[in-house]
Amino acid sequence: MAVNKFMIVFPNAKINIGLNITAKRPDGYHNLETVFYPVKINDALEAIIAPQLSFASSGITIPGDIENNLCIKAYEFVKTDHDLPPLKIHLHKHIPIGAGLGGGSADAAFFIKLLDQQFELNLTVEAMQNYCRQLGADCAFFIENKPVYAFDKGDQFESIELDLSKYVIVLVMPPLHVSSADAFRGIKPELSTVSLKELIKLPLAEWKEHIKNDFEKSVIGKFPLIGEVKQSLYEAGALYASMSGSGASVFGIFETLPSLQHLEAKGSVFYNV
Ligand SMILES: C[C@@](CO)(OP(=O)(O)O)[C@H](O)COP(=O)(O)OP(=O)(O)OC[C@H]1O[C@@H](n2ccc(N)nc2=O)[C@H](O)[C@@H]1O
Ligand SMILES: Nc1ncnc2c1ncn2[C@@H]1O[C@H](COP(=O)(O)OP(=O)(O)O)[C@@H](O)[C@H]1O
């Protein structure tokens, strides 16, 4: 059992590079293929052993009840199988919500990793990913938190070699929230002719012509500001720009840090993520 020390982790966001929705599944979910890439926008999640379980947050307001917070849900799932003490949990929310950045899923996955380490649960990667799969389709990605080609519900992975560290990634979050469930309603699934697993091997300068996010058409149709942000990123010199996941955030990949003052009028801008 861990001593009552301060336990803290910094869950990070992800972006989707390409997203093809390929089929509707009998369980109501969709099969898709995407590349998940971790980015440096972080929450801070801390816990100490306490007389009773509690949860509080600061920073961006999180919609919904505390018992539905993915941190609490993650704790409850692990506690079903393992002996855990009550914890006082505090989340400082910095990752934009309804952004396609997977922030809630990241909190849950990082919390499972914290519980595993601090309370010496000896969980395998697979066991932690299986808890995550019950919490959200993109949650399992954050256990290993490295670039992957994801398929099925977006919760099965193949490793890929993708290192964007020599580029500058800029992310813009317009003042909008897009619900993933709503975004799926605007989609007609279609099998892709060339797998994203192959397309991602193309030189970055060619991604613009070949790598698409299937959500963009309908989501930008509903929220034209997202399309304007994407256009502005290209005008600022992005080699590749795309909405992340089901939106509303948009990222641009640049060779060098651009001047983006005009984008600040369109949303919150995160540089060098
Ligand atoms: C589709 C992605 C792409 O990255 O969207 P973003 O959330 O990142 O925008 C994610 O995988 C989402 O992951 P996550 O947000 O954890 O999804 P969940 O909570 O499991 O599901 C939210 C809703 O999206 C729909 N959904 C999600 C994943 C999937 N493969 N098929 C679906 O149809 C379902 O309607 C579900 O009720
Ligand atoms: N720890 C959390 N952080 C953010 N959202 C959470 C969290 N726990 C539960 N949620 C719920 O998940 C929804 C969106 O999750 P999030 O992962 O931030 O967005 P996205 O689906 O765009 O990636 C919110 O509407 C909120 O009600």
Q: Phi and psi at residue 216, in whole multiples of 5°?
A: -60, -45
Let me know: does 259 contact 236? Beta carbons within 8 Å.
yes
Ligand 1 pocket member 137 (CB < 6 A): yes
Let me know: does 113 contact 9? Beta carbons within 8 Å.
yes
| pLDDT for position 40 | 98
Active site residue 222: no
Phi-psi group of 272: left, alpha or beta (phi > 0 → left; psi -120 to 50 → alpha; rest → beta): left
Q: What burial letters (b/e) apply to 102-122, b meaning 16+ CB within 10 Å?
A: bbbbbbbbbbbbbbbebbebe
pTM of the model: 0.96
Nearest CA residue ID for atom 3, ligand 2:
104
Pairing, β 54-59 against β 87-93: parallel
Tally of CB atoms within 10 A around 24: 14
| pLDDT for position 6 | 72
Rounded distance, CA 153 to CA 182, Å? 16
Let me know: does 18 contact 210? Beta carbons within 8 Å.
no
| Ligand 1 center to 139 CA (angstroms) | 10
Best residue among 180, 216, 223 to mutate for probing ligand 1, ranked by most atoms within 8 Å of CB: 180
Helices (H) and strands (E) in the chain, counts: 9, 12
Residues of the chain under the 50 pLDDT cut: none
Is 49 labelled as part of a ligand binding site?
no
Residue with tokens 């998940």: 36
Domain residue ranges of the chain, discontinuous segments joined by +: 7-159, 168-270
| pLDDT for position 5 | 67
Domains 7-159 and 168-270 share a fold: no
Does domain 7-159 fall under CATH 3.90.1330.10? My reply is: no
List, for residues 171-207, the tens digit of each pLDDT value.
999 999 888 899 998 899 999 899 999 999 999 999 9
Rounded distance, CA 250 to CA 244, Å? 6
Active site residue 116: no
| pLDDT for position 1 | 55
CATH of 168-270, one of 3.40.50.720, 3.30.70.890, 3.30.70.2390, 3.30.70.20: 3.30.70.890
Check 43, 138, 155, 214 and give the catalytic one.
138
